[in-house]
Structure 1
Amino acid sequence: MPDPTDAPQPRPAGPVTAARHAAAVDALPWDDRRAFEDVRRGRVAAIEPPVVRDASGRTVWDLTAYAFIEGDAPTTVHPSLWRLSELHRNHGLFEVADGVYQVRGYDAANMTVVLGERGYVVIDTLTCVETAEAALDLVRRHLGDRPVTAVLHTHGHLDHFGGVAGVVDEKDVRSGRVPLVAPAGFYEHAVSENVSAGPAMSRRSGFMFGPGLPKGARGHVMNGSCAAVATGRTSLIRPSHEIRRTGEELVLDGVRLVFQYVADTEAPAELTVHLPERRALCMAELISHHMHNLYTLRGAPVRDAAAWSAAIDEALNLFGDTADVMFLGHGWPVRGQDAIAELLGAHRDLYRYLHDETLRLANHGHTPDEIAELIELPESLDAYWANRGTYGATRHNVKAVYQRYLGWFDGNPAHLDPLPPAQAGRRYVELMGGIDAVLAHARTAHDTGEDRWAAELLAHALAADPGHRPARLLQADVLEQLGYRSEAAPWRNFYLVGAHELRHGAPAARPSGGPGLVSGMTTAMLLDYMAIRLNGPAAAGLRLRIGLDVTPEHLGGPTEDRLLIVVENGVLRHTPPPSLPEPTTTLRATRPALAALAHGTAHLDELLTDNTAEVIGDRTALDTLLGLLDTFTGTFEVVTPTGR
């Protein structure tokens, strides 16, 4: 572990970085100032200062940390990313259309409220409970103290639903008093994306969004799609109604909503919403003020560029003539049918071009890395501000298209079964004459601005010797310059977090998934997560049969689920319980207790003591199973190899 007391601070931009930014300034359409007018239009009120705290006083959102973003871009930030970050500093409650308002700038995403006959129809509920409560409080203070009469989730990304418990009580949803509407598949995908791979995704999210980076021109300058991600308590409530097809309509509290079901686009389950009487169109996250990700660097299923493009075209055909304003899940609205059609058309053609050109080149035999070097967007697409790669990037998006069709293998048999990084690194370093020789070559490359090559050389050096201090510090300097040059905020953050960890060490463990998400999982989902935690090699020679009875909230309540847990062949599975033979061990637990046990946040003895669980029969098999479950700390190395 590096000693942070002797770690250098972030460096200034090198001459190559500064020259590239100067060239970018000359190539960008600075005369187009429409976004700066649109982002301020309709402002009603704001939270001043734009800070949100939880009940203990801990800050979960602080937009004041980005006050440094003004004026011309410094040489350590790509000018296009600086421009978008300036726009994201605007915050408050804004009128979008007659009876339609948005709260923007208090979390990663936007909360939209539509005035109904009795109260508010809320579209998307932000990342966490605290920011959702603050946003709704702002609405009520300026638009009236009305109840929430319906909630709509556009898709299953955490920044759009995690604050739901700050907007509506789960009991009101279960009872039917407040409908909660979402696209079909929302609930399952919300859990699988945020819990099943939660520890790995959380670790990588720390790189993609850079929450640990210092705020400043040499550190974090926002995330491209938003300023940052709030850090409060997350929640999940099962929807009471699912939208399954385009053209389906609902009337919620007197508000007519027409839906477009757009699965397998920006999210596995997603929908757009037209409000005909308000002549307003919600495009969720199919449309943004930047190029989006076909593959997100934190990790997620690759998105279908062709389906995404087709869905945008369908929306334009369905709603283009009947919408005067288009509002989005991130950023500011677009007004006027011509401007709406312009942005829809530009995004439609952007994703289609990335799709078609990638496959054209693949069918000529080019590999993903070659395609990333070859593809350049046509000027008509590239010069449009909302297509700029400040969030997604052309280089990694074309690799995503290749992966979706052809997988990770590029067809070269030499790449079919390569050595793991640590083994390959030792051999490369030996071949090049030792680690000092590698560092000498890397320094020369870095000094001449060939930082991609320097990073590759130093990756081998650190694979061979992860603790080599001079190699770590030189790689930090290299990654830092690559970060400064990146137009895409996630690329910048990945590079700068990598540099920070090489200098200061990896962060402490961070919880993933969140108790609010885990407690919302079904019994089957909880057992599937326990199956992920099962250490397969350690369990391979065992055969266990354990009964499970789940009650909603109290052990004395009715049995909600009854299952049999079976462990054999190193796999945990669950089935309906057979009539015979009865298992010798049965766990009876409340759903919250089972959630805590599955997620590893509570020990069985604790649950037995507080009477939220009991074991019927011999508990040996249950203790054996729980002893085979791994604990995920989320502290694994990213910049250097985990495996030796």
Structure 2
Amino acid sequence: MPSTLKSFTILATAVFLASASVSVIANTVPAKPATEATRAANASVLKSLPFDDQRDFEDSRRGFIAKPDALTIKDANGRVVWDMTSYASFIGPDKQAPDTVNPSLWRNAQLNMQYGLFKVTDRIYQVRGYDLSNITFIQGDSGWIVFDPLISVEAAKAALDLANQHLGKRPVVAVLYSHSHADHFGGVRGVVDEADVKAGKVRVIAPEGFSEHAISENVIAGNAMSRRGVYMFGALLPRNAQGGVNAGLGQTVSTGTATLIEPTEFVHRTGEELTIDGVKMVFQMTPGTEAPAEMNTWFPQFKAMWMAENTTNTMHNILTLRGALVRDPLKWAGGINETLELYGDDIQVKFQSHHWPMWGHERVVDYLKKQRDLYKYMHDQSVRLMNEGYTGEEISEQIQLPPELDHYWPNRGYYGTLRHNSRAIYQRYMGWYDGNPSDLNNLPPEPAAKKYVEYMGGEEAVMKRAKADFDKGEYRWVAEALKHVVFANPSNEAAKQLLADTYEQLGYQAESGPWRSVYLQGAYELRNGLPKAGATRTASPDIIRGMTPEMLFDYLAVRLNGPKAAGKTLTLNMAFTDLGKQYALHLENGVLNYSSKPAEKADASLTLTKTAMDDVQLGKATLEQQIAAGKVKVDGRKDAFGELMGLMDDFDFWFNIVTP
């Protein structure tokens, strides 16, 4: 790849999808069985939760219409992009949880294995189990109204084909995106042709702010988020009882083609109404809850409430383990409370973008109250303890839900957890510093590890104690101690192997799907080294083309190597003829700024179209080729642009996490 093109290529990964771009491969080093301590811990879960409550299983099967006997979806090249069959080989509805899986997580996996086409209520249908998220089909007078078309084109198309096969073929007349996360819009080109959208045959509707957040979220920190996403979704884990079992919101994420068609219209306020193809919808805006731009939808004709992802059948994340901005649980609880106030008297069924629906007025209202109070309790009690002087770690160790919330299945921590959510709430209010002077300027992990090991009496002494504590099942402490040995001496194979064994047992005990994946992925990398099986998927062409010049310039600014740029000054003008916009880029003081006012004296001025820039970013042409073809005109020093690009860092996706 030419250096200019390589520097100019943007790693603008769409939400958490990069975790799906790596092929699942078998462990080089085989997994180990559950220890006696893990078997005992998982057995205790069976005694502590109401496993005799089978209502979720009844709900997950209710309205079933059809499904293929085996569900494996491939792309145009024959590559598997979705494979429920790999899970079906070991997760069965009547199989007991193996020793290596938390029984509560196993129950959630069994429920998520209920895939196929289902009727929710009159004229509302869902295809579930075709991706991490659900796709919903509302039967209009003449065609389908599609809610949240999954992550990838291939999965969405397969779901539409299933609906048309069993319900009668209908054209898609509208698509609604409930919010700005990619698992709710990425498959849109699998259900509609953009030409029909441009011709006005298909409406694409989204909440206000959708486009900005759908495109920009994860651009700035996309590389780090994507690498951590491999951990959160266990991208390299084999599908078996010692590996990938469940992602909490669904089984995992599809790995097909993620796309985006820009909305043709936006919803701006709560109470706004639309009637599409004979179906009336009333919208509730919920920005800043589960997503920066999100909305619920009330269907008064059917007394059905679409909750988007503001409520699901699990505790959600206040802060995702892959990294993101901390969400506001107080606003989240307030949004659910507003749902109750606006529509609670009439709701007969609730359904959402993940998991299965729930029916019956009293059950649904009780559910919404308990989901509301889940987020409110987490917020209020975390802040109470914070104001009593406890740190995030201390709060996470002592906070407990009351039994009426804790023993309610939809509140269990299959995706978010009470432990890491309470820390996130502390972080939202107080930041990283816990108030202890020792933590104000503490050593980073590697030098601190060397001193820890020295103070502990050396590696052999730590290993001896760690083995004894491992045998006692004290895995949390063993992980803490051995982390220092590995960071002090990453060539200590015995320490890495014992730490891998420790992470593995913690994963086997985890109720949260992402926690299990994080631990087991850590064990995998300690045993097998840094993965090299594939690389992160850069943003899809739709995402790249949807980026504004401002988004590009912001991203170039964080790629700029400040120390390398120190003492250098450079000014570039850029005029986009198709946008009718002009910009000036200014490099000085080790910082890249931009302005909408062109500079009078620039080192170089580029005249081009946004399409020409997109083609460079997407690797369809180099800048030099665009200049030669007359698509980019450069006045002034032609090497000035190359000088700027030479100061940009290219981020390595496979950076170390469990080793220094």
How does the TM-score come out when normalised to structure 2?
Answer: 0.92
**CA distance 1:383–1:259, shift in 2 (3 Å):** same
**Which residue of 507, 511, 521 maps to 1:487?**
511
Worse-superposed segment, 68-77 or 426-435: 426-435
Rounded Cα–Cα distance in structure 1 between residues aligned with 2:612 and 2:35? 55
3-state SS of paired residue (1:528): helix
Deviation per CA, 1:171-194: give whole Å up to 9, x if none: 444554432211122222222323
**Which residue of 532, 555, 572 maps to 1:529?**
555
**CA distance 1:582–1:140, shift in 2 (3 Å):** farther
Rounded Cα–Cα distance in structure 2 between residues aligned with 1:235 and 1:563? 28
Pair 1:571 & 2:595 matched: no
Q: How does 1:188-587 map to 2 (within 5 A)?
A: 188-508=212-532, 509-550=535-576, 558-578=578-598, 581=600, 583-587=602-606
TM-superposed deviation, 1:20? 0.9
Aligned to 2:610: 591
Identity %: 48
Rounded Cα–Cα distance in structure 2 between residues aligned with 1:77 and 1:5? 18
**CA distance 1:640–1:593, shift in 2 (3 Å):** farther
TM-superposed deviation, 1:365? 0.8
Rounded Cα–Cα distance in structure 1 between residues aligned with 2:623 and 2:69? 46
Rounded Cα–Cα distance in structure 2 between residues aligned with 1:607 and 1:290? 50
**Are the counterparts in 2 of residues 130 and 166 from structure 1 also a CA contact under 8 Å?**
yes
**Are the counterparts in 1 of residues 174 and 202 from structure 2 also a CA contact under 8 Å?**
yes
Aligned to 1:16: 37
**Are the counterparts in 2 of residues 292 and 391 from structure 1 also a CA contact under 8 Å?**
yes
Deviation per CA, 1:27-67: give whole Å up to 9, x if none: 11012101111111112222442111111110100000101
Rounded Cα–Cα distance in structure 1 between residues aligned with 2:516 and 2:104? 13
Number of aligned residue pairs: give it. 631
3-state SS of paired residue (1:168): coil
Deviation per CA, 1:359-381: give whole Å up to 9, x if none: 11111111111111111111111
Aligned to 1:629: 648
**CA distance 1:342–1:182, shift in 2 (3 Å):** same
**Are the counterparts in 1 of residues 144 and 170 from structure 2 also a CA contact under 8 Å?**
yes
TM-superposed deviation, 1:254? 2.6
TM-superposed deviation, 1:10? 0.8
Rounded Cα–Cα distance in structure 2 between residues aligned with 1:632 and 1:564? 25
**Are the counterparts in 2 of residues 17 and 484 from structure 1 also a CA contact under 8 Å?**
yes
**Which residue of 52, 60, 64 maps to 1:39?**
60
3-state SS of paired residue (2:465): helix
- Across the aligned residues of Structure 1 and Structure 2, the Cα RMSD in angstroms comes to 2.0
**CA distance 1:448–1:337, shift in 2 (3 Å):** same
**CA distance 1:423–1:328, shift in 2 (3 Å):** same
Rounded Cα–Cα distance in structure 2 between residues aligned with 1:550 and 1:173? 26
Aligned to 2:10: none
TM-superposed deviation, 1:195? 2.5
Rounded Cα–Cα distance in structure 2 between residues aligned with 1:611 and 1:43? 58
Aligned to 1:69: 91
Q: Which consecutive unaligned segments of at least 5 residues does structure 1 have?
A: 552-557
**Are the counterparts in 2 of residues 93 and 102 from structure 1 also a CA contact under 8 Å?**
yes
Q: Which consecutive unaligned segments of at least 5 residues does structure 2 have?
A: 1-24
3-state SS of paired residue (2:218): helix
Aligned to 1:555: none
- One-letter amino acid of the counterpart of residue 14, structure 1: T
**Which residue of 170, 179, 183 maps to 1:146?**
170
TM-superposed deviation, 1:118? 2.7
3-state SS of paired residue (1:277): coil
TM-superposed deviation, 1:87? 0.7
**CA distance 1:596–1:365, shift in 2 (3 Å):** farther
**Are the counterparts in 1 of residues 66 and 166 from structure 2 also a CA contact under 8 Å?**
yes
**Are the counterparts in 2 of residues 149 and 178 from structure 1 also a CA contact under 8 Å?**
yes
How does the TM-score come out when normalised to structure 1?
Answer: 0.94
- One-letter amino acid of the counterpart of residue 91, structure 2: I
Rounded Cα–Cα distance in structure 1 between residues aligned with 2:76 and 2:258? 14
Rounded Cα–Cα distance in structure 2 between residues aligned with 1:632 and 1:166? 31
Aligned to 2:4: none
Deviation per CA, 1:441-474: give whole Å up to 9, x if none: 2111111111111111111111112232111111
Deviation per CA, 1:291-338: give whole Å up to 9, x if none: 111111011111111111111111012112222211111011111111
- One-letter amino acid of the counterpart of residue 587, structure 2: V
Q: How does 1:615-626 map to 2 (within 5 A)?
A: 615-626=634-645
- One-letter amino acid of the counterpart of residue 385, structure 2: L
3-state SS of paired residue (2:574): strand
Rounded Cα–Cα distance in structure 2 between residues aligned with 1:548 and 1:185? 27
Worse-superposed segment, 132-141 or 71-80: 132-141
3-state SS of paired residue (1:187): helix
Aligned to 2:51: 30
TM-superposed deviation, 1:198? 1.4
Aligned to 2:21: none
Rounded Cα–Cα distance in structure 2 between residues aligned with 1:203 and 1:209? 11
Aligned to 1:554: none
3-state SS of paired residue (1:298): coil
Rounded Cα–Cα distance in structure 2 between residues aligned with 1:599 and 1:425? 42
**CA distance 1:254–1:565, shift in 2 (3 Å):** farther
Rounded Cα–Cα distance in structure 2 between residues aligned with 1:5 and 1:269? 38
